[in-house]
Amino acid sequence: EGWPDGVFCGNDQIARGVIDALRERGIRVPEDVGVIGFDNWQIVAEATRPPLTSVDMNLSTLGREAGLALLSLVDGQPAAPGIRKLPCRLVVRQSCGAE
């Protein structure tokens, strides 16, 4: 009693630790508390029990965009000011109770 409905973690490694800590205290994931990570580090997310729901930040595209911006700067092109937004997605697995 008194536990939150869910925990959103800053990365998948922390989320795995949260799941392990909850299990050690007899708290079931996702029945008692849902857990969501951030990174969608597939090796960690799929090996976690239950498999971890996680936000996929599309890091390959992010890296590509950063690399292209860096190459433009090296070639003497000015960097475009402002914030660049890339789409992300929620990869639903069993830790949030949705699957």
Asked if the structure places residue 81 within a domain, the reply is no
Number of domains making up the chain: 1
* Domain encompassing residue 17: 6-58+88-96
List alpha helices for the chain, DSSP H.
12-24, 42-47, 59-74
Q: What is the CATH number of the domain that holds 17?
A: 3.40.50.2300
Examine residue 75 and state whether it is found in any structural domain, yes or no.
Answer: no
- CA distance from start to end of the chain: 24
Query: What pLDDT score does 75 carry?
Result: 92
In a domain, 74, yes or no: no
Six token digits for residue 43: 């090796």
Query: Other CB atoms closer than 10 Å to residue 73's CB: what's the count?
Result: 11
Q: Domain for residue 20, yes or no?
A: yes
SS3 content of the chain, % helix, strand, coil (to 5): 40, 15, 45
71 occurs within a structural domain: no
**83 located within any domain:** no
Residue 90: beta bridge partners? 55
pLDDT tens, position by position, for the chain (99 residues)?
677 999 999 999 999 999 999 999 999 999 999 999 999 998 999 999 999 999 999 988 989 988 998 999 999 998 778 888 889 999 999 999 865
52 assigned to some structural domain? yes
